[in-house]
Amino acid sequence: MKEILTAKPGDKLYLLGNEAAVRGALENRISVASTYPGTPSSEIGDVFYEIAGEAGVYFEFSTNEKVALEVAASAAVSGLRSFVWMKHVGLNVAADSFMSLAYTGVRAGMIVLTADDPSMFSSQNEQDNRWYARLGNVPLIEPSNPQEMKDLMGYAFEVSEKFGLPVLMRTTTRVSHMRGVVDMGSVNVGSKIGHFVSDPTTLVPLPANAYKAHKRVVEKLQAVQEFANKSEWNRVIDKGGNLGIIASGPTYNYAMDIVKENNLKVKILKLTLTYPFPEGLVLDFLKSIDSVLIAEEVDPIMEKEVYSLLGKYGVNKKVYGKLDGTLPMVYEYSPDILKNALSKAIGVKLPGKALLSTDLTLPARPPVFCPGCPHRGMYDAVEKVVKELCIDAVFPSDIGCYTLGYMPPFHKADYLLSMGSSIGTGSGLSKFSGKRVISFIGDSTFFHAGIPALINAVHNNDTMTVMILDNRITAMTGGQPNPGMAMEGKKEISIEAIVRAIGVNFLTTVNPYNIKASHEAIKEALSTEGVSVVISRQPCVLIVPKKKVTFMVDPQKCTGCKICINEIACPAMFVREDGKVVVDEMLCNGCGVCVQLCPEKAIIVRR
Amino acid sequence: MKTYSIYIAGVGGQGVVKTSMVLGKACVKKGVNIVMSEIHGMSQRGGSVPAEIKIGDALNPVIENGGTDLLISFEPAEALRAINKCSNQTIAIINKSPIIPFTVSLGISQYLNPEEYISELKSKLKKVVVLDAESIAKESGNILSLNMVMLGASAAVTDFPVGKEYLIEAMKESLPEKAIEANLKAFESGYELSHKEL
């Protein structure tokens, strides 16, 4: 990772789009960088975390995306270039402040990167954050590959500074997690000390100021539109013919490859600075062709812009896209989807390979708690107590590894909306569902958005139990630090102190590897009126590997009852052909939870 | 150059991404272009983790259905799961040891005899090389070198666009120093075995 900082001009590195963005920032006078981790944006933070100190850049993992955006904005109004990034749904969290950014403006370049997740590889929805550019009145830039992610950082800073507006950079999973060969330029990092000049009429959007600011923003956007018409990043690749393709982001790659492979005569308009929509450029392009295919993910945003242009100027062209059913309204595109759409637009079926398929049954392989994951034992303990006390429970869940509590055999996720929602919905469900609420949330998510909801529940005298699964890391996104961790130069925040200060009726902390202690703790929490909190504390096994010993099954003692497998479904355990269980030595992380479950005491330390 | 498409199939934690990193570095050394698409996040927790790679002039790394030249699979069922990306022109290098998902242990999903998955692929693809990469890795001195066994075996394929020398150089730069000897041994064993079979 170090080479992202140390590579020399002219070097070529094989980088993820996200990694290339970091290099782009380093080459373009970045001063301040902040984020809250979220797939598919997380690797940007992983790289900064590693190199920021050496590079002389201020970097932090903030408590949530809104705070991260505010930290970056404060740098930008102090005259320092700043960069904040998040996954698409993170921008919802940051939206309250984001919506005022264009009004107050920036004094140095500011880039807000949103990593969207079409097809939802790691997300709860596939919202198209290009809408946020329109909603927040900010210019929008869409890179197509890692090289562009690097090069567009400098361009985005320039656009931001030229117009005094933050710039929204939108990637998707296929761009952020695309790896490619990237040419390096020179590193040129900005100063960490800025200078804030007070100007409340601009920077404090109280109604009278906001009233004037909105008009100013609209004028700025008109100027950006003129600029976008002439941007070198919005360009036509003319291969002749009467069909046009308008593409942005990863769909440009698909379109170009198909056109080249099939030697098609089409004109491609690659749009990169896509909002404000470059009307003049697009209108000229439309006039040069008979029909146009719009290739964009996920919503038909540019397509509607094109229809609007055609109507406004009374031009009649055939438009192929989502709205006429040529392309799907949901999910990411693939080369095959775009090839079919192009076949329809040119009226000729483009050749493809003979397709292969199989009738054999394949095993389902959904994601699962890792072997040795501390959450596994806690879910098992909750299940047992709920059964023992004959409780009719509902389990609001949250965003993080414990979302996997949804999977069999646990089935402990009944409702999920967003980061922190397990406690907010739990507070509501405790009054409206007729069931006993047991919410699951992680340490990082608790800091991020759980605290206000816990205050709400306590304040409203709700009866619910909150299980805070504290694995001492932000795990699902690859292991980023959070405020609950002791780190050099940072102050550790105690979850217990927060929970106690809010005034819950019951609080205890247990080690989830100890099934009996966990059992007792949950039992007591569920017997308490009001809000009770159980903190399940044990570091993530990927971050702090356990494995002092591994376990094995004594085949003489194993009766094949499968209690271990049916209760915790550890991926390190398998059933042999004779019905007995075996533990895979490689996979076992030595947590010992299975040992406590076996009624025959057949699981023993491997010698 | 003609685009060469490689689909790497495996399960989270098997070293799929690392393999592609070595391959990518080797391409940079040789001066050929490479693009790849990989999966991070939730699916990495024991789920299927495919990586799609194109070497050559392609802009987009995602392989069209039937477009795979070389399928490298770290696991038999994951190899067959990639069948729609393959054609009768595809060559496959497959590690024979299965990783049984928890859904099978729980009885809500079925894992057939791995031999069945492999013979299904043999009947449909151009050529299938099956290796016991796990044993080879163990013999080489480091079970974690399984991915380099697979890379070595792939390098023996006739059309493979990057030579051994570039791959070995890239391995030396990408892998932890103390593991290099075992990994080089693993790579060579994979290469030899596959070379004989092809």
CATH number, domain at A264? 3.40.50.920
B112·A370 Cβ contact <8 A: no
- Say if residues A563 and A580 touch (Cβ distance below 8 Å): no
Same domain (yes/no): A461, A336: no
Question: Whole-number mean pLDDT of chain B?
Answer: 94
- A310, two tokens: 């055609």
Closest chain A C-alpha to B105 CA, distance in angstroms: 6
- Say if residues A127 and A232 touch (Cβ distance below 8 Å): no
Domain that holds residue B42: 4-197
B83·A356 Cβ contact <8 A: yes
Span A407-423, pLDDT tens digits: 999 999 999 999 999 99
The three-state secondary structure class of A117 is coil
**CATH number for B47:** 3.40.920.10
Same domain (yes/no): A488, A578: no
A476·B42 Cβ contact <8 A: yes
B46·A356 Cβ contact <8 A: no
Q: Which of B36, B41, B100 sits opposite A39 (nearest CB)?
A: B41
Mean pLDDT, rounded, for B131-160: 94
Residue A362 lies inside a defined structural domain of this protein: no
Residue A60 lies inside a defined structural domain of this protein: yes
B67·A39 Cβ contact <8 A: no
Same domain (yes/no): A198, A74: yes
Given A183, A205, A230, the domain boundary residue is A230
Given A487, A503, A537, the domain boundary residue is A537
Closest chain B C-alpha to A155 CA, distance in angstroms: 21
Residues of A in contact with B170 (CB under 8 A): none
A365·B77 Cβ contact <8 A: yes
Residue B44: pLDDT above 70? no
Residue A463 lies inside a defined structural domain of this protein: yes
A358·B83 Cβ contact <8 A: yes
- Say if residues A126 and A85 touch (Cβ distance below 8 Å): no
Span A472-509, pLDDT tens digits: 999 999 899 999 999 989 999 999 999 999 999 999 99
Nearest CA in chain B to A567: B106
A363·B110 Cβ contact <8 A: yes
What pLDDT sits at residue B49? 86
Q: What's the number of domains chain B is made of?
A: 1
Q: Which of A40, A179, A360 sits opposite B80 (nearest CB)?
A: A360
What pLDDT sits at residue B144? 87
Instruction: Choose the mutation target among A19, A182, A356 for the interface with B, i.e. most B CBs under 10 Å.
Output: A356
Same domain (yes/no): A140, A68: yes
Same domain (yes/no): A29, A163: yes
- Say if residues A269 and A282 touch (Cβ distance below 8 Å): yes
A339·B64 Cβ contact <8 A: yes
Nearest CA in chain A to B104: A363
**CATH number for A74:** 3.40.50.970
Same domain (yes/no): A97, A204: yes
Burial class (CB in 10 A: 0-12, 13-18, 19+), A240: exposed
Nearest CA in chain B to A403: B42
Same domain (yes/no): A221, A239: no
Same domain (yes/no): A40, A177: yes
Residue A359 lies inside a defined structural domain of this protein: no
Residues of B in contact with A144 (CB under 8 A): 59
Q: Which residues of chain A have pLDDT under 70?
A: none
Same domain (yes/no): A16, A153: yes
Q: Which of A14, A360, A367 sits opposite B34 (nearest CB)?
A: A14
- A32, two tokens: 């301040």
- A139, two tokens: 């210019």
- List Cβ neighbours of A586 (8 Å cut-off, separation of 6 or more): B143
Nearest CA in chain B to A586: B143
Q: Which of B28, B36, B77 sits opposite A363 (nearest CB)?
A: B77
Residue A268 lies inside a defined structural domain of this protein: yes
Same domain (yes/no): A517, A384: yes
What pLDDT sits at residue A548? 84
Given A326, A346, A366, the domain boundary residue is A346
Residue B43: pLDDT above 70? no
Same domain (yes/no): A217, A239: no
Q: Which of B25, B66, B109 sits opposite A14 (nearest CB)?
A: B25
Domain that holds residue A413: 374-537
The span from the CA of A9 to the CA of A23, in Å, is: 11
Q: Which of B35, B46, B59 sits opposite A571 (nearest CB)?
A: B46
Burial class (CB in 10 A: 0-12, 13-18, 19+), A470: buried
Q: Which of B28, B66, B105 sits opposite A574 (nearest CB)?
A: B105
Same domain (yes/no): A325, A286: yes
Backbone angles phi, psi at B53, to 5 degrees: -130, 135
Q: How many CA atoms lie less than 13 Å away from A38 in the CB half-sphere?
A: 32
Q: Nearest to residue A345, comparing CAs of A316, A372, A331, A325?
A: A325
Burial class (CB in 10 A: 0-12, 13-18, 19+), A134: middle
Closest chain A C-alpha to B142 CA, distance in angstroms: 12
Q: What's the number of domains chain A is made of?
A: 4
